[in-house]
Amino acid sequence: MIKHHALATAVLFAALGSSALQAAEEVNVYTYRETKLVQPIFEAFTKDTGVKVNVISASSGLEQRMKAEGVNSPADVLLTVDIGRIDEAVQAGVTQPMKSEVIEKVVPAQYRDPDGHWAGISMRARVIYASKDRVKQDAITYEELADPKWKGKICIRSGQHIYNNGLFAAYVAKHGEAKAEEWLRGVKANLAQKPSGGDRETARDVAAGKCDLGIGNTYYWALMMNADPDKKPWAEATKVILPTFEGGGTHVNLSGVLLAKHAPNKANAMKLIEWLAGEHAQQVYADANYEYPVRAGITVNPTIAGYGKLNADPMPIAKIAANRKAASTLVDKVGFDN
C-alpha cells in the first residue's frame, strides 16, 4: 500500500513537474540586433511555439561575455549582424555545431558554415548610394571604385568597420592580396574626405554634395526612406545602385545565428533557430528589417525590390571570413583611414 501510494505520488509529481516545465519553457538570446528590431520576430516565435524569449542586446562584446561566463553562460542562441561578428564568436570558442536537416535544406550552402557552427538567416548587400543629380550611370562594378574618374567623389565609413572588412575580404578572395592592395590605394585616392561616420552619414554627405558616391548597406537606405523622417531627404537625394564584381555578382553579407556552446535550453534553441528559417520568420525579417530572405520563395520588401534584382555573388561566406585578417592588414598598410 505504501509502495503504491509512493508510486502514485511520484507519478503525480512527475506530471506536475512536466507541466511546470512546459509553463517555464524559454530560450535565452544574446543579440547584436537592436532589441526593437528583433522584438516583433521573438513575439511571433512565442505566439507560434509558446516558448518565451529572454533577450540581451549589445552593440559589441557579446562573445567575450559568453567566454567569460563559461559553462555557466545562460546564452542559448547568438544572433549577429555580419560575418565578422560570426567569425569572432567561432574563434572565441563559444559556439557548437548545429545539427539540423531543416537548416541544411532551407539555407543555401554558401550561407552556412561547412562545420555547422553558423547559418545565415537573412542577407544584406553592400551597395552604392549615388547622387541622383550628379551620377547618370545606373550600373557600376566594385573594381570601378578605384577608377580615377571618381577622384574626390567617394564617401565611406572606416575601412576597419566590419561591413567594409567583409567587402574588402571578398575583394581579396576574388583577386588576391596584391590586386586588393592596389585597389584599396585607388579607392583611397578617390575619397572626398577621411573615412568617418556610418552608412547613413555617407548618404547625408552625398545629399549635401560633399561626394557623389557613398558605400552603404541595403537596409539603411530603406530605413531612412520609410522609418526616419529626419533622414528621408538623404535617401530622396540618392539612388541605390547594386554593384557587382567583374564576372561576378553583388557582395552580400549575413545576419547569422549560432548555437551557444553551453546552451542550457538546447532543444528550445534549436526550435528557435529552425523557426527563424521558416516562412513566417523569413517574411517578418524581410519586412521589419529590410533584408533579403535566405529562404527561396519569400517576397522581398517592396523598397528593397525597388533597387533592382539582386544577383548575389556566389562566393561562400566562409571564404570571406577566411580573408578578414588579410583585408584588415591591407587597410592599415595603405593608410586607408588616415
Annotated binding-site residue numbers for Fe cation:
219-220
Cα→Cα distances 199→55, 73, 101, 218, Å = 26, 33, 36, 10
> CB of 243 within 8 A of CB of 137?
no
How far is Cα 120 from Cα 320, in angstroms, rounded to an integer? 14
What are the phi and psi torsion angles at 185 (to 5°)? -65, -40
Q: List residues forming the annotated binding site.
A: 219-220
Question: 207-219: b or e for each residue (b if 16 or more CB lie within 10 Å)?
Answer: beeebbbbbbbbb
Cα→Cα distances 213→170, 200, 208, 223, 238, Å = 20, 13, 12, 19, 9
Helix (H) / strand (E) containing 213: strand 213-217
How far is Cα 134 from Cα 202, in angstroms, rounded to an integer? 15
> CB of 183 within 8 A of CB of 191?
no
